[in-house]
Structure 1
Amino acid sequence: MEQQNDTRSQILTTGRRLTARQGYTGVGLSALLKECGVPKGSFYHYFASKEAYGCALLNAFVTEYGIRLQASLAHPELDARSRLFTYFEGWRTKQLSPNPEDRCLVVKLSAEVADLSEDMSSILQKAVSDIIAHLARTLKEGADDGTIAPFDDPKALAEMIYHMWLGASLIASLSHSDAALNSAMDATEALVPAP
């Protein structure tokens, strides 16, 4: 059983690396399995289809990302506003990394899988909803603890900021420039002022 889990994990880890570089549709099963050193016929022992593999890949990423998200937005030694900006500074740094594996798969795959797979799209949508909920909670905590100026609707503000950062990440990928992400940080600072 341990060998089976190791092989499945190896396929997912290798798939994460290749998908970060080539996208989901750019990674063929033959290339993935060759890179892993796994016989082609055994893929279906671990995954019912390429879509099932894609869902497992996204679920693994979302779980890992959720742990990092919780650690940054619930950091016990920082006030809420500092936690929020630490999260976005980490986002900017990762999206500008020369290593594609550092970048967010939600950003990378959202447009690509939206029309390919309802199941994969649902996983990504739930991940986005969870991120926005964390951001909204942090914004409310900042208003409550006095580190963020009062505002009306934390969920609406969290959605607007997240959507802005998602768009900025796509533009940064297209332009190979940090300008859009720097603009997103400036706009976030304007939208979330200290009191």
Structure 2
Amino acid sequence: MNSRVRLDKRDLILAKGAEVMTRRGYHGAGVQEIVQAAGVPKGSFYHYFSSKEDFALQALRQLYEPRLQRYEQALGNAALSPRARILGYYQELVEHFARQERPEHHCFIGSLSFEMAELSPAIGAEVDAILQRSADSLQRCLLQAQALGELRADEDCGNLASFIASAWQGALTRLKVASNARVLDDFLQRLQRLIQP
């Protein structure tokens, strides 16, 4: 079997398995259900993953590396001012949810962190590393905004980045619970007031 086919099968198991695990939770998603969703035999799972925990770790990396790269690119777009980059990025996300007939959000990292962060130090550390990398990207953009006078000179950009990232995760959790995009509009309005001279 060539390496491309092997990689495609692994990617398929990761993608379909992550959907199952997001919907049913870590403990509710059995290996059998994951392989059924991917349409592969059970042996294929253990060919690529040593355990369900190993699968969850690889799925986190597979799903969030492209998202982190898109976030870093958006916040590094030199064609826009730093403040415009941040507000534009979150505005696009809010508009995405507003276009849905019934706004909903299925968050793999959120589901895993609530269920497994304390039970699996490896998963907890991976989730924290992903969230920290996101906050670090935001902090760099906030520092640029500060240098250009778009943010108060006495603002603690690290603390602000952490607060914004946590507030966004909280807003997504509320969206999942209430299926009402208004909470995202509230987030965006507050963000606009937070990021100003």
TM range (shorter): 0.7 to 0.9
Query: Which segments of structure 1 move beyond 6 Å, counting only runs of 4 or more?
Result: none
Match of 1:138 in 2: 141
Residues 89-140 of structure 1 show CA distances to partners (whole Å, capped at 9, x for unaligned) of 234345665586x754333432122133211111110011111111111111
- Aligned identity (percent) is 27
Equivalent in 28, 31, 34 of residue 32 of structure 1: 34
Equivalent in 156, 169, 182 of residue 185 of structure 2: 182
Residues 137-195 of structure 1 show CA distances to partners (whole Å, capped at 9, x for unaligned) of 111101112333433210011111111121121112111112222221121111112x3
Match of 2:168 in 1: 165
Residues 72-103 of structure 1 show CA distances to partners (whole Å, capped at 9, x for unaligned) of 11112111001111222234345665586x75
Are 1:119 and 2:122 matched, yes or no? Answer: yes
Letter paired with 1:113 = M
- Deviation of 1:38 after TM superposition, in Å, equals 1.1
- Partners in 2 of 1:74 and 1:174 — Cα distance? 32
- Deviation of 1:26 after TM superposition, in Å, equals 3.0
Distance 1:70 1:119, change over 3 A: same
Structure 1 residues 100-115: aligned runs within 5 Å: 103-115=106-118
Match of 1:156 in 2: 159
Letter paired with 2:88 = T
Match of 2:4 in 1: 2
- Partners in 1 of 2:150 and 2:106 — Cα distance? 29
Provide TM-score, normalisation by structure 2.
0.87
- Partners in 2 of 1:175 and 1:23 — Cα distance? 19
Distance 1:105 1:78, change over 3 A: farther
Letter paired with 1:80 = P
Distance 1:123 1:62, change over 3 A: same
Letter paired with 1:106 = I
- Gaps of at least 5 residues in structure 2 are none
Match of 2:44 in 1: 42
- Partners in 2 of 1:165 and 1:147 — Cα distance? 21
Count of equivalent residues: 193
Query: Is contact 2:103-2:179 (8 Å) kept?
Result: no
Distance 1:150 1:106, change over 3 A: farther
Equivalent in 147, 151, 155 of residue 150 of structure 2: 147
Q: What secondary structure, in the 3-state scheme, does the structure 2 residue paired with 1:172 have?
A: helix
Provide TM-score, normalisation by structure 1.
0.88
- Gaps of at least 5 residues in structure 1 are none
Distance 1:59 1:157, change over 3 A: same
- Partners in 2 of 1:99 and 1:25 — Cα distance? 26
Query: Is contact 2:103-2:180 (8 Å) kept?
Result: no
